Each structure stands twice: as structure tokens, then as C-alpha cells.
Structure 1
Amino acid sequence: MIQRIQTIYLFIAFIITGVLPFIFPLWTLSEGKSYFFMENQIYAVLFGLSTTLSILSILSYKKRQNQFVIGRLNIILNLILLGLFLYHSLNLSGEAPVVSEKGIGMFLPIIAIAALVLANKAIKKDEDLVKSVDRLR
């Protein structure tokens, strides 16, 4: 349902993982060339999976428990993506011939994780509300 707050949070996570990586580079090489996520297959697959999980979670609004589990999987996937970025970032700092600058695209998984955590919190709140109403019957 569009009127639920978790749908908005999930849509924000979809925009962050599906649209913004095409706009913001992960880092910039010393030659001035921007390095986008599409240049590495692992990053492209992980961003694609995260986007797919966000869409799947939005579409499964009738099954709150499944939506919650999909949100958790998406958080784990974004943590793995963030870990890969940090690993690559730490390896870049020691490079001698090509010095690079880190881009804002490396921080997109952090913002996506925040949106997914807020969505899961709202899903849990809805689930608790439904359970409390069922108890009264």
C-alpha cells in the first residue's frame, strides 16, 4: 500500500540503490576519470540485487512477515556492499602511481541501510498493531 510509511522508506531505498549509483561515482582516479559501479561486476550485481529486493518488498505489502525478512536480507546485502567498498578504499589509500579520491557513491549503502532499518521498524510496528487487535477479538 502506498499510504504506509514503510513503502515510502522502501521506495527511498530503491532510489538510493537503483538510480543514484548511475549519478554518483564511487571514486575518482587521478586522471580525472570517474569510477562508477558498472565497471565492476560484483558491485553491479550487488546493487541490482538490492534494488530487486526493495521492489520485491514493496510488492509484498500484504505479507508483513515476508516483507520484514526481505528487508533484513537487503540490509545484510548492503552491509556486504559497504564492506567491499571499505576494503577497496583501504587498498586504494596505499596505491603509489594512481592516487584517487573517494566519491559520494561509496556512502550510498549507508543511507540505504538507514532507510531499510526505518522501514523494518515501521513493518514491525504494523505487525504488533495487528496482533494487538487480534487479541481483542
Structure 2
Amino acid sequence: MIQRIQSIWLLLASIAILCLLLVPVIGAATDKNYYILNGFGLQVEGAAQVINIPLLLSIVLAGLISLINIFNYRNRKLQIRIASLNIFLILALSFWLSQIIKGINGLKTLDIEPGLYFPLAAIIFTLLAIRGIKQDEKLIRSADRLR
């Protein structure tokens, strides 16, 4: 049953959230430096990347939850609960990323990067997966009624 449409949605959600590790989320300029925020943490342009381990682990965890949830197709109610938990985790990650940017002193300008849209895409894909799981549950219940 891995070939269901919600498996594709969960895979896309996993890919979208893991893309935060590769694509910058936002750029921020101050009087002295230009900062780039990505899944590894806040980097000063021209300096070495300082890795924020808790942020990195949270992003990888959110991606792995979606990926592992694909194989939980036998227990649809648990699959819905795990997907809902993952949405909450992605929202918490988005809030955390915004708090990292707000922590920069002397902020002048913000540059929106493509990575800003990946958490939103992951949430949308997860919601579509939940819808597909609910449709499967409805189909199985109607088939059980006919037996």
C-alpha cells in the first residue's frame, strides 16, 4: 500500500523540509555584516558556518517523521496523528527561525530567500496527505459495511 497518493504527499513534505538544509531561508543586513539563515544556523557572509545543532536535528527529525510515516500505512489513525504532530513541529521550526532573525541586533534590511516557502509547502503537502489518509479510511469503512 506504499503506492497510495498520501505516500507521495508525505515524500514531498519530507523533501521540502529537508531542502531547508540546502537553500537559504532569509538574508539579513546590518551596518556591519550580512547574515544568511539556513537549516544549519545563522552564518555571517564571508565567515565559516557555525552549526546550530538543535536546529539541525529538529529539521532532520521533521523530515524523517514524514518519511517514516509513509510506512505506517496499516494504522491510519496513528498515521494521521503523526502527520498532525509533524505539522506542529514544522510550525514550531518556522517560529524558531523567525526568532533567530529577530535576535540580530541593528537589523536594517531583510532579503526573502526561496527557503522561506519550504515550511509552508511541507505543511500543505502534509495536509494533503492527511486528506488522502481520511479518504482511505472512509473507503475501508464503506467496504467493511458491504461485507
Structure 2 unmatched ranges of 5 or more = 42-51
> Which ranges in structure 1 are unaligned for 5 or more consecutive residues?
none
8 Å contact 2:39–2:56 — kept in the other structure? yes
Q: Does 1:37 align with 2:39?
A: yes
> In structure 2, what residue type is equivalent to 1:23?
L
Amino acid at match of 1:106: L
Question: Which stretch of structure 1 is more off in the superposition, 45-54 or 123-132?
Answer: 45-54
The answer (yes or no) to whether the contact 1:27–1:102 under 8 Å persists in 2 is yes
CA distance in 1, matches of 2:2, 2:146: 27
One-letter code aligned to 1:52: L
TM-score (norm 2): 0.79
Letter in structure 1 aligned against 2:87: I
| Paired residue type of 1:82 | S
Find out whether 1:123 has 2:117 as its counterpart.
Answer: no
* Residue of 63, 74, 89 corresponding to 1:77: 89
Structure that is richer in strand per residue: 2
Q: What are the equivalent positions in structure 2 for 1:8-87 lying under 5 Å apart?
A: 8-18=8-18, 20-30=19-29, 31=33, 34-39=36-41, 40-87=52-99
1:22 Cα shift? 2.7
**Within 1, Cα distance between the matches of 2:37 and 2:98?**
15
Per the TM alignment, residue 106 of structure 1 is displaced from its structure 2 partner at its CA by 2.6
Shift of 1:100: 4.3
CA contact (8 A) 2:22 2:39 kept: no
Higher helix share: 1
- Following superposition, the deviation at residue 74 of structure 1 comes to 0.6
Contact 1:89 1:102 in 2 (8 A): no
Alignment partners' CA distance in 2, 1:106 and 1:41:
20
Which residue identity is paired with 2:113?
A: G
CA distance in 1, matches of 2:91, 2:110: 23
Under a length normalisation based on structure 1, what TM-score does the superposition of the two structures give? 0.84
Q: Distance in 2 between matches of 1:122 and 1:49?
A: 23
Distance 1:85 1:119 in 2: 25
Distance apart, 1:29 and its partner CA? 4.1
Q: CA deviation at 1:5?
A: 0.5
% same residue: 31
* More off after superposition, 67-76 vs 112-121: 67-76
What's the offset of the Cα at 1:33?
5.5
C-alpha separation between the residues in 1 aligned to 2:40 and 2:99? 18
Change (3 A) 1:121 1:88: same
